[in-house]
Amino acid sequence: MRAPLCLLLLVAHAVDMLPLNRRKKQVGTGLGGNCTGCVICSEENGCSTCQQRLFLFIHREGIRQYGKCVHDCPPGYFGVRGQEVNRCKKCGATCESCFSQDFCIQCKRRFYLYKGKCLPTCPPGTAAQQSTRECQEECELGPWGSWSPCTHNGKTCGSAWGLETRAREAGRAGREEPAICQVLSESRQCPIRRPCPGESNASQKKSGKDRRPRKDRKLDGRGEGRPRPAPA
């Protein structure tokens, strides 16, 4: 009587342990693609412990969460290494990507990046750059440089008028790092009024060829060469 009862208890215990053994697996026991890199993996919740140097990324959908082991944390998350497990933590609410919880690399729309922070408006002394969504420190204009040679189509001769240009750089006041400010320039019209070397002689020769010799009429004392009156 006792033997069948013991056998029944063993079967019941095996049935109870089957879901647990199915949920928890170890590396090297036929892990699926969702458990790649895992040390402990659950079919319901994915990875809970990753191999060394991998990050545990917890993906949440509503009330459900699923773990995955990754080499690099996805955009919007940053990696934190710990003694037991390396985790991917989410960036701040205004960060598109970040280096740490307190240092953003790229901001979300309607925010500007300034010294690792994402701000709705740039602070005083800075200007918003729409292309990069960053706050750039305002520049201090330097003195104007000298005017460039007066040129027309790249030449300093052969035209009556040309253009000359001068520029001045804008640098950050009191900053050791190199300036990233724009360079301002202006141009103005200037007189050239001199031919290029060799053009004056060529023009003189050309004008000389175009001239035709003028035949002077020679009149003798009898009035030859004058028109004769018509007969009466």
Mean pLDDT by 10 residues, the chain (232 residues): 56 50 41 72 87 89 86 92 89 93 92 95 89 84 86 86 85 51 81 77 51 50 52 52
pLDDT value at residue 3: 56
CB burial of residue 182 (10 Å; 0-12, 13-18, 19+): exposed
Spans of all domains in the chain: 34-90, 101-138, 139-173+180-194
**Taking the CB of residue 150, how many other CB atoms lie within 10 A of it?**
20
Question: Can you read off the two tokens belonging to residue 94?
Answer: 């205004």
d(CA 28, CA 41): 12
**Third-level CATH fold of 34-90:** 2.10.220
Please tell me the predicted confidence (pLDDT) of residue 59: 84
Give the whole-angstrom CA distance, residue 199 versus residue 116: 63
Going by C-alpha positions, the residue among 27, 77, 25 that lies closest to residue 56 is 77
Specify the pLDDT at position 20.
43
| Residue 44: predicted pLDDT | 83
Report if pTM > 0.85: no
* Cα–Cα distance, 162 to 135 (Å, whole number): 39
Domains 34-90 and 139-173+180-194 fall in the same CATH topology: no
Q: Determine whether domain 139-173+180-194 maps to CATH 1.10.8.
A: no
